[in-house]
Amino acid sequence: MPTNPALDLERDLNPEQAAAVTHGDGPQLVLAGAGSGKTRVITYRVAYLVQKCNVDPSSIVAMTFTNKAAGEMRERVENLLGLQPLPTFVGTFHRFALGLLRRHGKHVGVDPSFAIFDSSDQLSLVKKALAEENLSESAFPPRSMLGTISSAKNRLLDPETFAAAADNFYEKQAAKVYRQYQRLLIQSSGVDFDDMLRLAVKLLVTEEGIRERLRRRIRYLLVDEFQDTNHAQMRMVQEIVAETGNLTAVGDEDQGIYRWRGADLDNVLNFEQAFPGAVVRALEQNYRSTQNILDVAGDLVEHNQRRRGKRLWTEAGEGSKVELYRARDDQDEARWTLNTLESLQGQIPLREMGILVRTNAQTRAFEEELLKRQIPYELVGGVRFYERAEIKDVVAYLRVLRNPRDNFSLTRILNRPARGIGKATQEMLVQMSAEHGNSLWETLKHAELGSLPARSSKALGRFRDLLHSLREGLDETPLPVILERLLDQTGYLDLYDKDDPELRAKLENLEELVTAAQEFTEETEWSDEADLLSAFLDHISLVSDIDEWRREQGISLMTLHSAKGLEFEAVCVAGLEDGLLPHFNSGGTQDEIEEERRLLYVGMTRAKQRLFLTGCRRRRIAGRYQDQQESPFLLEIPEKDLVISESPELFYDGRTRAAYDFFGRREPMEIEPEVVTGGALRRGRRVRHPTLGEGVLMQLEGEGDNAKLTVFFDRSGKRKLVAKYANLEFL
């Protein structure tokens, strides 16, 4: 096989990286700190196995979490080996699971032509399931219910198993909704993202022949971002490597920020228990950031208890100190940030600057300031291209053309564009389908539509004829031509007024979809056009926000979660206030606070040269200003490591006895001791919190673990805590 010149590991890798790359057989965990070259380790290990160990590249599988990361990884390996196309599978867990289900899904009751339901499709199904169970959306919010179902699937629980384990009112209702949701999903020949993993694991567990063939084929498995794996992904990994044990897991427990979507940090922390005989290596040399940035981030994350422990270092020098700005409000925060970033333009291009926030709502003030200054920017995580209404409509047409039994998609397009098929007609069609036990398409094809009102019958007949026309010669027609014909015959091209800027933008989106289909056709090698249509639908279903992000010429504005895996020369992490970071929804448990701390750590370590931290004394929320307290995380960073500045517009809070600075810092209050419950908990008692430091217990409501405590902390002011979560030390 053609190869590039032999790998020079001594030249290209540091000793720790080289040890991970040249690891022999058996499991190994590579603890790769931020910016330590983990992608290099994975790509060089693949190249080493092929070039130095004569391993068949088709017997190596490398899995990660985004298409973007997989694409970069694949390109690097191809360059190292001179192999193109690379026979090694390099892709996401979902892509791997998708391949298994497309080939063998019938063994676990899956229609091989299933449609992949995205998050908005799933939410629609949940709402329908709630309605069928006569449950109120206000009492059972659909997003929360979808999260519960997703969590169950990540734990490999089917509706029956989940229902059997339900032990409270909410879970019992959720079990009913899960059952209906799954029925509706199957009825539309659909599979959601969680099911892709759950059913793939079920396939490997129950089908011995398929499992054994897969194990014989895959000799070496490499997994990136191992700290982000959930229970289902962990089980998949274990099933694949059960015989060889040849697993290289690369991860960083300090960057585990997806607990809320099922990621289990124990997969890293307890790796040796899961994979006996595993070797653990740490990559601590950083190739991204200056030492000052690493020191501040390290000081912060060392306050976490659930970590293995490492300290990053660099040969890049100390660099500039990290700056902290205490703003008057969110407008002042935005102005200072943009003033600061603009001042760096001579040294750092705008495209190498990132503003990172905890919530999407924080972007508004920054967007307004960017627009006012006419600074180009890109908002990551807005409405995704493939989630725009007109795009979802056309994609629904494609899904129906490929699989007419997709009731969900067919329902979406019945009257899009408007063709006189109103809600009443749709309900009659659904009723006819239910009576005959048919899909909507089978009813349209075979039922006597003349039994319906004349207007409804004619409208449904025209729609049926349209689909028949679009499906003619489908397997022989190039994908871009299918799209062009669809847009023409459905009337979408005539729907949008070219003189209306907003409608023109929708038309341009549809034209861009044709372009995407053309590019996909040119970049993908498939034996026939029928496969290409299915592949295209799979491709767009698996696209994420970051996959769509293309670093342009402007400043990037995104959430901290979206910034994972990225880097910028200059970074501003905004909104360092209690209630934002850590977020008030975190709940205040130890695990949740530690995840919020890791999230800030991830944001800090995106910066290469300059790091700025900001927070507001007050912030406008729901139209009203609210006083804000400084994030307790800032108290964990030594002030000597920061350059601190603040808005000159300090003010006096007349409601208290003391003037205090921007974040409510006051001198400790003297409180007359008063015994409330006896024992340790009494008013006036000095206490110490692991994050907030020392303070005074001011008020106690209730008794036992559920008692509510009001503590005035010396450094951050008044806080309310629950006794069982407070973790207070009594002084």
Active site residues: 38-39, 224-225, 255, 606
Distance in angstroms (rounded) separating the CA atoms of residues 589 and 633 = 15
540: Cα within 13 Å, side-chain hemisphere:
24
Is residue 485 within 8 Å of 470, Cβ to Cβ? Answer: yes
Tell me whether residue 634 is exposed, middle or buried, using C-beta atoms within 10 angstroms of its C-beta: 0 to 12, 13 to 18, 19 or more: buried
CA angle in degrees (0–180, nearest 5) for 270-275-281: 70
470-498: buried (b, 16+ CB within 10 Å) or exposed (e) per residue?
beeeeeebebbbbbbebbeebebeebbee
Secondary structure (H, E, C), 362-393: HHHHHHHHHHHCCCCEEECCCCCHHHCHHHHH
Residue type, 512: E
Q: Looking at residue 580, what DSSP letter applies?
A: B
CB atoms near residue 729 (< 10 Å): 12
Residues in the chain: 731
Residue partners of 534: CB distance under 8 A and separation at least 6: 102, 113, 402
Is residue 30 within 8 Å of 248, Cβ to Cβ? Answer: yes
Distance in angstroms (rounded) separating the CA atoms of residues 328 and 661 = 11
Residue partners of 666: CB distance under 8 A and separation at least 6: 656, 658, 660, 717
**What does the DSSP assignment read for 208-243?**
HHHHHHHHHH--EEEESSGGG--HHHHHHHHHHHTT
Distance in angstroms (rounded) separating the CA atoms of residues 420 and 618 = 52
Distance in angstroms (rounded) separating the CA atoms of residues 554 and 551 = 8
Distance in angstroms (rounded) separating the CA atoms of residues 656 and 495 = 62
Q: What is the side-by-side order of every strand in the sheet holding 717-722? A: 717-722, 708-713, 693-701, 686-689, 729-730
CB atoms near residue 186 (< 10 Å): 15
Is residue 30 within 8 Å of 283, Cβ to Cβ? Answer: yes
CB atoms near residue 670 (< 10 Å): 7
258: Cα within 13 Å, side-chain hemisphere:
20
Distance in angstroms (rounded) separating the CA atoms of residues 363 and 108 = 44
Distance in angstroms (rounded) separating the CA atoms of residues 470 and 489 = 8
Handedness of CA 498, 500, 502, 503 (dihedral sign): negative
Is residue 185 within 8 Å of 195, Cβ to Cβ? Answer: yes
CA distances from 171 to 24, 136, 145, 702 (A): 47, 15, 10, 28
> Cα 466 to chain center, whole Å?
38
